[in-house]
Chains A and B, each alone.
Chain A
Amino acid sequence: MAEHTDAVIEIKDVSKLFGPVAAVDGVSFGIIRGEFFSLLGPSGCGKTTLLRMLAGFEQPSRGEILIDGQPMAGVPANKRPTNMVFQSYAIFPHLNVEENVGYGLRNRKLGKGETRSRVAAALDLVKLSGYGKRAAHQLSGGQRQRVALARALVCRPKVLLLDEPLGALDKKLREEMQLELRQLQRNVGITFVFVTHDQEEALTLSDRIAVMSSGKVLQIARSDDLYENPNCREVAEFIGNMNLFEGKVAAVGQGNVTIATPAGTFTVPHTAPIGAGSVVHLAVRPEKLALSADKPATGLNAVKGRIIAQTYLGDRRQFLTQIDGMAKPLAISRQISGAEAQISTNTDIWVAWPPQLGRLLTS
């Protein structure tokens, strides 16, 4: 791919075996210089193992990793142009903030003055100026996180690796730090590789996201693309909420196909060749669905159901609608503007969506 010509990291068919178990299984992709890249997946999907192979704490069992064009096989962690922010932050408890931040500068042959000014600049960058003499145990969780960031950034790595760095913070602080982290990455222009299991966090922060599961990369895409165009059921269900109709291709049209499901027959855009009769899934997001008491106009996909529950979520309301022939109720999310009609539970209702908002998933 053309965009990979400026890849700062190239991962080529990398596997990592722990005994008979493949923690990472034949993964290949590139990370572009200067981007905020996230590895997203449930725990145990191999994302942390992959990150540790980039850092040099684990060696790939197979395959090759190149950082800045250099093969990393046999290069130990201390010789790599990467620095890491650990999940536990790993702040040295016997050193103060300044000594922690300056730790990696010792063998860089910098003058005392240069070291001091770089430490000060790094502390400034993470908004901890004046905290230099604090002992490690006097810091709050958020401050420890900032020290860990400053300590890594002061070494001016080509790539900054972050292992779920926001996981230990409470929700409010986490959201603040997300914003700051994004800002920081734009300011310093260093490539960030960010590991998280929190899909919302990944969507907020990243330029691109790799969704991983069972050691494999399922999809790599920009946040909006990942949300709007998942390439398989697993990604569709992992990123946000998704309604799925299982069915068979009934007819192949021009740029769309018609599929027959137990809930009815629906049309969905699709261009690639597909055989009639193939088992597929139609996926549609809860916020794309509209509710109406009357039968919707023709041209829309529509299905009749019964509201079985509704949940108030502040900015929106979520309805669960039971459809005949479907095991799982449909989720419909509706913005609350104050003008819409009340819908009471246990009433029959039409659920409809324009065909172009659905997605066909073949795997």
Chain B
Amino acid sequence: MLFLYGPILLAPLFSVNDSIFATFPLKGFTLRHYAEMANNTGLLKALRNSLIVAASSSLIATAVSVPAAIALTRYKLRGSGLIMTAMSAPLVIPSIIFGVALLIIILRFLDLELTLWTIGASHVFISIPFAMTVLMSRLEGFDKSLEEASRDLGEGAWMTFLRVTLPLAMSGIVSSLLLCFVTSFDEFVLAFFLSGTETTLPVYLFGQLRFPNKLPGMLALGTTILMFSALIVILAEILRRRGVQSNSPGAV
């Protein structure tokens, strides 16, 4: 546990140290690095980019995964095992290989420019396995006869989806969104390969590390991201566990 969390805890520690060197002994307590962070336009721009990429890729990944998860859990499809394996591929393919491959495809074959869109698209790919896992476990958890009951009571397929499936899957959808958001927000390798002039926060952060005097500021930034990420992951897990009893706010 110490090996796992020790180094992570050093970042917040040095981020409030009144020195530009990340060494012991600590000098004094300061929030100076956090204040500077707020005035750094390059950093704010990268942060904004990251938020845009994370938000849109998590929305798209989840939107694609909802119908896929319903299809895989509700109907006995042929080759559903193959589909699941194919969808989980980004989990096991090293992202550096994935990044190089995507770079070649985008530049050579599609002849596109590298923009935030290319980063976003790659993040959709790597987010889908997470979205599918969360959504499928949620959809498998509720009684199939609930949807039949809705049909029996006079609702067609679309209204049954809106009035029963969607509200019951809502906690899964929200936790999928959060998980995909974090996946994208923290992602470095693909963003590094696929960014053009605009870049995301992790890539910006890496670039700044070349300058020693920027280190404490980056530590402050890292600490902030760390805390947000942890918060979101915890929130996603709580939502996932709330289960069937949840009086979902999405109820019609």
Given A94-B251, A135-B247, A107 contacting B148 (CB threshold 8 A):
no
Number of interface residues of A (CB under 8 A): 29
Contacts of A93 in B (CB 8 A): 142, 146, 168, 244-245
Do A92 and B146 touch across chains, with their CB atoms under 8 A apart? yes
Interface centre among B159, B248, B250, B251 (most CB of A within 10 A): B251
A86 proximity list for chain B (CB < 8 A) = 145, 148-149
For B149, B151, B155, B250, which residue has the most chain A Cβ atoms within 10 angstroms?
B149
Instruction: Name B153's contact: one of A88, A94, A104, A135 (CB within 8 Å).
Output: A104
Is B149 a contact of A137 with CB atoms below 8 Å? no
Judge whether A78 and B151 touch: CB under 8 Å. yes
Q: Which residues of the other chain, B, contact A82 by a CB distance below 8 angstroms?
A: 152
Task: With CB as the reference atom, state the residue of chain A lying closest to B146.
Answer: A90
Interface size on B, residues (CB 8 A): 25
Q: B149 near A90 (CB under 8 angstroms)?
A: yes
Interfacial chain A residues near B250, Cβ < 8 Å: 94
A151 engages B248 (CB within 8 Å): no
Asked if B143 lies at the interface with its beta carbon under 8 angstroms from chain A, I say yes
Whether B148 and A94, one on each chain, are in contact in the complex, defined by CB atoms closer than 8 angstroms, is: no
Question: A83: CB under 8 A from chain B?
Answer: yes
Q: Identify which of B152, B163, B246 gathers the most chain A CB atoms within 10 Å of its CB.
A: B152
How many residue pairs between the two chains, A and B, have CB atoms under 8 Å in the bound complex?
Answer: 74
Does A103 have its Cβ within 8 Å of any Cβ on chain B?
A: yes
- Taking A93-B244, A93-B245, A94-B251 as contacts, is the C-beta distance between A84 and B152 under 8 angstroms? yes
Interface residues of B in 139-173 (CB under 8 A from A): 142-143, 145-146, 148-156, 159, 163-164, 167-168
CB pair B154 A94 closer than 8 Å: no
**Quick check: B244 and A88 within 8 Å, CB to CB?**
no
* Interface members, chain B 70-88 (any A CB < 8 Å): none
Given A77-B151, A83-B153, A107-B155: A94 and B248 within 8 A (CB)?
Answer: yes
Distance of A103 from chain B, by nearest CB (Å): 5
Residues of A within 8 A of B (CB): 55-57, 76-79, 82-84, 86-88, 90, 92-95, 99, 103-104, 106-108, 135, 137, 151-152, 155
Beyond the given pairs A93-B245, A94-B168, 17 more chain A to chain B contacts, judged by CB atoms under 8 angstroms and listed by A's residue number, are A57-B152, A78-B155, A83-B153, A84-B149, A90-B145, A93-B142, A93-B146, A93-B168, A94-B250, A94-B251, A99-B251, A103-B153, A103-B163, A106-B154, A135-B247, A137-B244, A155-B153
